[in-house]
Amino acid sequence: MLVDRAFVPPELVDDGERDGWPWSVPCVKELLGDGIAFEAPVTFLVGENGSGKSTVVEAVAEAFGLDGRGGRAGRKYANDRPQSPLGSALRLDLTSAGSRMMTGSRTRKKGYFLRAETAFGLMETVWGLPGYWDENTSEMSHGEGFLTVFEAMFRHPGLYVMDEPEAALSFASCLRLVSLMHRLGRTGAQVICATHSPVLASTPGARILEVGEHGIQPVEWSELLLVDHWRRYMSDPEAYLRHLIPKDERG
């Protein structure tokens, strides 16, 4: 592992700022002070849209020196996007391996931030460049492109941050990513992933943090609200659809 904890020193945020975004988001507010402890090589943040999980993983990526729009460690991309307010304030407690990587040369930094909403544009820009992949991902489906990135870039002990990678993946492709994340965790790498996927969250040995109005709390996979809803829906779709679509339109 490379990162033990992510936190924001309270003195970096004025009292008057704490009522505004992002500090008013419960999970971000929880970063002030003790923050989040990373206790396993693979960590998932799971929560509803708007819960703040993507804001947190983006900030972790930025604090580690990864570009907030996505991409590999040791490389900044041509854009004028400033670092996020949370990313600017976030601090990381590093393991000895993480400290060596962060204080070493740029080429020693290993990792990748895959952000689903910007991944496709980045992939079209960097394919074929030294240090990336040779295949033209613009000629592939989105899912095939994501898998190409995973297989080419998620190789070495490093920090791999992902924001909803399941956006382009089929069920079978999600299982391939589960295998990859598990393998990375056993080789000294660290994975931090925001997801809505019960498949990804089932990665063996992973720590799951549920994000919501309560802030951030650890939870077992079987106790996730996400998992409960999927089980109920797959067992009886009608129990949900009857609240959404009039009976005479459901066929």
Domains of the chain and any CATH numbers: 3-219 (3.40.50)
User: Quick one: CA dihedral 105, 110, 111, 112, positive or negative?
Assistant: positive
Cα 250 vs. chain centroid, distance in angstroms?
36
pLDDT in tens, 53-109: 999 999 999 999 898 888 888 766 555 567 889 999 999 999 999 999 988 777 778
H helices present in 108-201, as ranges: 116-126, 142-153, 171-185, 198-201
Question: In sequence order, what are the residues at sequence separation of 6 or more whose Cβ sits closer than 8 angstroms to the Cβ of residue 140?
Answer: 148
pLDDT in tens, 117-176: 888 888 888 888 888 899 998 889 889 999 999 999 998 899 999 999 999 999 999 999
Q: Which pairing describes strands 71-72 and 91-94: parallel, antiparallel, or unpaired?
A: unpaired
Say how far apart CA 127 and CA 129 lie, in whole Å.
6
